[in-house]
Chains A and B, each alone.
Chain A
């Protein structure tokens, strides 16, 4: 039995040690506010974010941060566990896809009472503000505006002596370009185009150009079975015309992870992505990259793109320091110095003052991203209603269905109605 006492003392000792370490690192302030901040991202985002929390602590002595950053895939189980355990952090980075889930279930706090009262949103972009609303209440503050974009391998196009597609380029132009590509391309094993038949953002963009939303405001499918059949048929035709990478190659890219995309793997000189990701793509690519818009559904159609909030800051519903949290968010999105540290890594800043402050400090590729989002012109449409709770599940089913078509297990004619039924069932199950 003496063993167990020793053991307990030992364990208590180690906890005490831990507590001492914790106390030793934080400044010994009497009125100390400790904020727990959680976000996903890689090394670069962490460095920038901690740069801003350090800046904030300098400006507000007495407020310190326990920051925690995780990879996207690890982030959600941890946040859900913390929330379910009644231990959610104060400031939470939130995704456009999950904000509805968290807001509807009361896991994040409405921020309306802080607007104009600690949270100054006077020069904040209206569409970005609306993007953070669920059921009319404000639950998230956009940390940057984004748009879908195609990342292009400029070097490969230059080597082949082919012009990079311009902004009027449409899916109908692909076969002709592919013929050119086949005769002039210098890279072994490189096809012209990624197979994005399973990419939900691609479908969304294409549907919007045809005047339909992916989801309606009341959380139903905005498309018909025929739309899906037509979409799959378009890709099947492109596949048959030799425009696309093989289904085998495309399946390497399971989750749009940058390191597995067709451009990084050298299978195609382009890949579907988001405008804030150019720098991240460039970091793992040797060739020079640039950015263009998604193709038009047909010549002259537009309005498919929109300025999407790349991610939000929300406040945990259980947080005991909501006003402090709001004050920190305000600093994060408005302070010019904070903006200079953050750059456009999370997207284009939504506060006009911050945006203007950072513009002269950007490196060339950040500049490309800024210009791209600012100059979408007729490609730009209104912000769609926020996606329903089960949108993620529908997206997963869509990807799987697209692979069935690509690998020849199902024809586009059968896949369209089959997916439509799947989507309807998933949405109905989540709704009731």
Chain B
């Protein structure tokens, strides 16, 4: 401890040129590392991009990343490949994803608030039940659920994909929010309680404003996972007018027959754009969260 203090004093007292250079070197090293790792992360994208631009018979037979000829054919063919343009699928995916975000943020935060902050009989039991819903493989509840939604007349609409989000059916987000709510100092709401605040006001006025990072996280995940979800749309959507982007993508390819691989890769690239942009935009909220939390403390 003392040595630490001594070293720190030395450093703060004389910010020598040597230390500065070392810092700069470290930062350069970090950038080199990050750029190197980024290439590792970007490789699949580059490869998909090159596959979407090259002739179809080269996709599997050529190992080079560079296409022998470049054409945008796959994009035009893919966009209109499925009787309806991909525009419809983008609108559908977007509608479902936005509804899912609204539903998840509203209802999961309510449930999480109850689990994290309120005392009530059976809390531990219901929390365990909530976790248990995460543990059963969906493959075996699929058919009973389908029967349920079919009886409700919801099959072939967005309802089976959206309504559960408005009923906090995804325990992942409840659990996530619980963990973050519990990280917010309890003195804050205890003081408010003393002033006669209702639980609702504490939830709405204190907890939610302090939770931007986790709400942004939940929004990002909901959007991306709903966008990427394949199995739900596969089972519940039959009419091509209701198809999502992921469902459209999967229909390009059948490994036993003639497929449109170029179209698949071209549309895959396009389908990444919205989620990538969404991520770029929402991660700002992740960062803004810090200022608020920091000040309140």
- Direct A/B contact, Cβ within 8 angstroms: yes
Hey, which bits of chain A sit against chain B, CB under 8 A? 3, 7, 10-11, 14-15, 18, 21-22, 25, 36, 38, 40-46, 50, 66-74, 77-78, 80-82, 84-87, 255-260, 264-266, 277, 279-280, 282-286, 345
Residues A264 and B61 in contact, CB atoms below 8 Å apart: yes
In the complex, A42 Cα to B56 Cα: how many Å?
A: 14
B 88-107 contacts with A by CB, 8 A: 95, 99, 103, 106
Contact, CB under 8 Å: A66 / B239: yes
Closest chain A residue, CB of each to CB of B155: A87
Set of chain A residues within 8 Å of B258, measured between Cβ atoms: 42-45, 279-280, 283, 345
Interface hits, B213-268 → A, CB 8 Å: 234-235, 238-242, 250-261, 263
Q: Does B142 contact A (CB under 8 A)?
A: yes
Secondary structure at the A interface, as helix, strand, loop or mixed, is helix
Kindly identify which residue among A44, A69, A73, A285 contacts B61, using a CB–CB cutoff of 8 Å. A285
The stretch that binds A, out of B115-123, B158-166, B202-210, is: B158-166
Known: A42-B257, A46-B82, A74-B250. A85 touches B143 (CB 8 A): yes
Q: How far is the CB of B151 from chain A (nearest CB, A)?
A: 9
Is the beta-carbon distance between A43 and B250 smaller than 8 angstroms? no
B60 at the interface (CB under 8 A from A): yes
B256 nearest in chain A by CB position:
A72
How far apart are the CA atoms of A69 and B258 in the complex, in Å? Answer: 13
What are 14 A-to-B residue pairs whose CB atoms are below 8 Å?
A: A11-B162, A40-B254, A43-B251, A43-B259, A66-B240, A68-B239, A71-B251, A74-B234, A77-B234, A257-B256, A280-B258, A284-B56, A284-B57, A345-B257
Instruction: Select from chain A the residue with minimum beta-carbon distance to B147.
Output: A85
- Hey, which chain A residues are within 8 Å of B263, CB to CB? 43
In Å, the complex CA distance between A46 and B257 comes to: 11
- Complex CA gap A257/B60 in Å reads 12
Knowing A42-B260, A81-B143, A285-B61 are in contact, say whether A86-B240 is a contact too (CB < 8 A).
Answer: no
List, in ascending order, chain B residues with CB within 8 A of A18's CB.
157-158, 241-242
Residues of A within 8 A of B49 (CB): none
User: Which one of A85, A257, A258, A284 contacts B150 once the chains associate, using CB atoms below 8 Å?
Assistant: A85
**Cα distance A383–B162 in the bound complex, in angstroms:** 49
A217 to B261, CA, bound (A): 41
For B61, give the chain A residue with the smallest CB separation. A286
Q: Does B288 contact A (CB under 8 A)?
A: no
- Residue pair A69, B251 in contact (C-beta under 8 Å): yes
Question: For residue B259, which residues in chain A have a CB less than 8 angstroms away from its CB?
Answer: 42-44, 258, 280, 283-284
Q: Is B58 positioned at the interface, with any CB of A under 8 Å from its CB?
A: yes
**C-alpha gap A279/B238 in the complex (Å):** 28
Assess the B234–A84 pair: CB atoms within 8 A: no
Whether B177 is near chain A, meaning CB under 8 Å from some CB there, is: no
Q: Are A14 and B158 in contact (CB under 8 A)?
A: yes
Q: B60 — which chain A residues lie within 8 A by C-beta?
A: 259, 264-265, 284
Chain A neighbourhood of B166, CB < 8 A:
7
Among B59, B106, B162, B253, which residue has its beta carbon within 8 angstroms of that of A42? B253
Q: CB-nearest residue of chain A relative to B150?
A: A85
From A15, A41, A44, A84, B157 is in contact (CB under 8 Å) with A15
Q: In the complex, are the beta carbons of A259 and B256 less than 8 A apart?
A: no
Q: Does B289 sit within 8 A of A, measured CB to CB?
A: no
Kindly report which residue of chain B lies nearest to residue A283, judged by CB atoms.
B258
A68-B238 contact given A11-B163, A74-B250, A284-B61, CB 8 Å threshold: yes
- How many Å from the CB of A373 to the closest CB on chain B? 17
B143-179 CB mask vs A (1 if < 8 Å, else 0) is 1001100100001011100110010000000000000
Q: Once bound together, how far apart are the Cα atoms of A43 and B259, in whole Å? A: 5
Are A71 and B250 in touch, CB under 8 angstroms? yes
- Let me know if B67 is at the binding interface, CB within 8 A: no
Q: Mark B256-290, 1 if CB is under 8 A from A, else 0.
A: 11111101000000000000000000000000000
Interface centre among B60, B159, B166 (most CB of A within 10 A): B60
The distance in angstroms between the C-alpha atoms of A86 and B149, with both chains bound, is: 12
Q: Assess whether B81 is interfacial by the CB under 8 Å rule.
A: yes
Residue-wise interface mask of B (10-23) relative to A, using a CB-CB cutoff of 8 A (1 in contact, 0 not): 00000000000000
Extra contacts besides A15-B158, A42-B252, A285-B61 (7): CB < 8 Å = A66-B240, A74-B250, A77-B142, A77-B235, A86-B150, A87-B150, A258-B259
Beyond A7-B166, A259-B261, A280-B259, whether A45 also contacts B254 by CB under 8 A is yes
In this complex, what residue of B is CB-closest to A48? Answer: B258
- A-B complex: 3 closest residue pairs judged by Cβ atoms: A257-B255, A42-B259, A44-B258
- Specify the chain A residue showing the minimal Cβ separation from B255: A257
A70 touching B234 by the CB < 8 A rule? Answer: yes
B83 is an interface residue with CB less than 8 A from chain A = yes
Q: Are A46 and B150 in contact (CB under 8 A)?
A: no
Q: Chain A residues near B83 (CB, 8 Å)?
A: 46, 50
Q: A255 to B255, Cβ gap below 8 A?
A: yes
Do B95 and A14 touch (CB < 8 A)? Answer: yes
- In the bound complex, what is the Cα–Cα distance between A18 and B155 (angstroms)? 12
Contact B142 A81 (CB under 8 A): yes
Selected from B57, B59, B143, B240, the residue in CB contact (under 8 A) with A68 is: B240
A71 touches B56 (CB 8 A): no
> Are the CB atoms of B61 and A81 closer together than 8 Å?
no
Which chain A residues border B56 with CB–CB below 8 Å? Answer: 283-284
- Does A81 lie within 8 Å of B261, measured CB to CB? no
Alpha-carbon gap, A259 to B58, bound state (A): 11
Binary CB contact string for chain B from 52 to 85 against chain A (1 if under 8 A, 0 otherwise)? 0000111111000000000000000000011100
Q: Which residues of A contact B254 (CB under 8 A)?
A: 40-42, 45, 70-72
The residues of B that contact A71 with a CB separation of less than 8 Å are 250-251, 253-255
CB distance from B70 to the nearest CB of A (A): 17
Q: How far is the CB of A291 from chain B (nearest CB, A)?
A: 15
Q: A70 and B158 in contact (CB under 8 A), knowing A78-B235, A81-B142, A286-B57? A: no
Which chain B residue lies CB-closest to A274? B256
Q: How far is the CA of A70 from the CA of B237 in the complex (A)?
A: 12
Q: Please tell me if the beta carbons of A36 and B57 are within 8 angstroms of each other in the complex.
A: no
